[in-house]
A and B are shown apart, each in its own frame.
Chain A
Amino acid sequence: MDDFFFSLLLAGISVGAVYALIALGLNLTFWTTKTLNFGQGSLMMLCAMLTVFLSSQGLAAALAVLGSLVLVAALGMFIERWTVRPALTSSGGSMGWVVSTLGFGIFLQGMAAKYFGSQAMAFPDLVFTAQDFVTLFGQYVSLQYLVVLAVAVALILTFEIFVRCTVWGHAVHAVSLDPELALVQGIPVRRLILGSFMLSSILAGVAGVLIAQIGGTVDPAFGFDLVLLGFVAAVLGGMGSSLGALVGGLLVGVISKLVGGYVSTAAEHGIAFALLMLALAVRPQGLFGRPEVSKA
């Protein structure tokens, strides 16, 4: 195996893991409300920027990350209450949330540009520096890449177990299937929905910090196209499936890096959307999605 291929594969897997985290975050709100927060990218950006800001104020790296995550989680609740819920209740199942979540994301991006400046800021090293590596199959593997991969896989396994094996996992599924029936069965629907937006925002924040760590810098525009790639990963893997998010994310990451390396970096994003179109044409429910079953 030549070095070039291997390094592309590795880069693909680690960005793919981040796409998987974004896809997982999108899945979470989809589970409870069948909506997606298209402003996820701004939450990623904001979390990374806040981390830079807080650590520049002299806070320890871990505390800076934690503080940013708490703020982003609060924003997640705000998004549910003020951009998603009104859109869902006002005209009965409208698609208004697409515009309102995206709009709020753009707003956050603008605010970040105003207060943090639109210049790229250097992201501090959290656990490992870019120079830390191990040798694997005779290749240098950056430890930062491995951390990203490990965090993504651990989170995805946790979610998969939660959804499949716990009562609350079933309750979340129930809310997405029939919220009214869930209500009369005593399931605290409101709290589950709010919780899903909080967790989804936290996942976005984690993804943002991880990818900023790999890239080394953050700027207000950061995260916007990443969400689109996360969306492709979610659809490819099957909307709502955690395992699908992981596989979809890795596929998008690896394929786009390989195309970027062997064909042209300009084609990196294009190929991801070609994958999306292919998936929608051939297997609309995604790799791990379940087609709807019902009898009248």
Chain B
Amino acid sequence: MLELRNLSVRYGAVRALEGVSLQAVPGGITAILGANGAGKSSLMRAISGIAPVAAGQVLLDGQDITTLPPPVRARLGVAHAMEGRRLFRQLTVEDNLKLAWSFGARREKLAASLAEVYARFPILETKARTAAGLLSGGQQQMLILSCTTIRSPRFLLLDEPSLGLAPIIVQQIYGFITNYAAQSGIVVMIAEQMATLALRVSHQGLVLRRGRVVLAGAGEELLRGNDGKTLAASYL
């Protein structure tokens, strides 16, 4: 289980996150919603260890990891797909995958893991020797998802996986995420601006506004409750 207790993140004088608490259980998807600058990315960065935590705690299965450096958290099973399609752009597709696998949990052999990725996204096999920076946006997102899942994580954080992609690709990517979450039974967290998209697949949702939680509940409830007016209002 992934748990946040009164988590606050500050960049100098800027308060990015203020007293956020949250519990995410394995096998479920948690949607983190909110407009630009609401604190979604800061929340995820605080979990993976690259945002300055001013107060509060991050716990993985009851273990306090608030002060652990990012590589140690990664070894504990945190996989973070950062916003802005972060990849090693000069490295080839396969080198990106190999690198992610090498520093992951290595639950399966490299060859088997690669075969699994290529079976799911055949285009990545075709482009295996291409520099990752030269892929299309959709292909890059497929590679990012594969890089995070090839590490056999226990806590998967996806920051805006739909950003800037064509609707048909978004559907494909969300299909993959839902399947993966159901099969692997791990904690999955998605940060999204497109609320309905994320809530449709999520078990619980959390709406942030200026770093504070303004709305929280089951996914379905947030989507349908009060005809979605409450949800819409929380964005304004």
Contacts and interface: CB of A to CB of B under 8 A. Distances in A.
Interface stretch (B27-35, B129-137, B187-195): B129-137
A89 to B, nearest CB: 13
A183 to B, nearest CB: 4
Given A167-B98, A186-B75, A189-B71, A181 B82 contact: yes
B74 interface: yes
B121 interface: no
A174 B100 CA distance: 11
Nearest to B136: A295
B133 A170 contact: no
Interface in B68-84: 69-71, 74-75, 78-80, 82
B74 A186 contact: yes
A189 B72 CA distance: 11
B48 interface: yes
B103 A177 contact: no
A245 B79 CA distance: 37
Contacts of B151: 185-186
Contact of A184 (B50, B88, B131): B50
Chain A facing B: main interface SS: helix
A183 B100 contact: no
Contact of A180 (B50, B74, B95, B134): B50
Contact of A186 (B71, B90, B91, B95): B71
Interface in A166-223: 167, 170-171, 173-174, 177-178, 180-181, 183-190
B88 A174 contact: yes
A290 B92 CA distance: 14
A186 to B, nearest CB: 3
A90 interface: no
Contacts of A181: 82, 86-88
Contacts of B218: none
Contacts of A171: 99, 102-103
Given A174-B91, A177-B91, A293-B90, A185 B50 contact: no
A184 B104 contact: no
B89 interface: yes
Contacts of B75: 186
Given A293-B133, A295-B133, A183 B70 contact: yes
A292 interface: yes
A293 B131 contact: yes
Nearest to B134: A295
Nearest to A186: B74
A180 B147 CA distance: 15
A184 B134 contact: no
A293 B90 CA distance: 6
B74 A185 contact: yes
Given A185-B103, A186-B103, A177 B90 contact: yes
A107 to B, nearest CB: 31
B98 A178 contact: no
Contacts of A135: none
Contacts of B133: 293-295
Given A184-B48, A294-B89, A174 B71 contact: no
Contacts of B70: 183-184, 186
Interface in A128-175: 167, 170-171, 173-174
A167 B104 CA distance: 12
Contacts of B95: 170
Given A174-B99, A293-B133, A183 B86 contact: no
Nearest to B95: A170
Contacts of A294: 89-90, 131, 133-134
Contact of B82 (A173, A174, A184, A188): A184
Nearest to B75: A186
Most chain B CB within 10 A, of A170, A174, A186, A190, is at: A186
Interface of A: 167, 170-171, 173-174, 177-178, 180-181, 183-190, 290, 292-295
20 contacts: A167-B98, A167-B99, A177-B88, A177-B91, A178-B86, A181-B82, A181-B86, A183-B49, A183-B74, A184-B49, A184-B74, A184-B80, A185-B100, A185-B151, A186-B75, A186-B104, A189-B71, A190-B69, A293-B131, A295-B135
Given A173-B90, A173-B91, A181-B86, 12 more contacts: A167-B98, A167-B102, A170-B91, A170-B98, A170-B102, A171-B103, A173-B88, A177-B89, A180-B86, A183-B49, A183-B71, A293-B89
The 3 closest A-B pairs by CB, nearest first: A186-B74, A186-B103, A294-B133
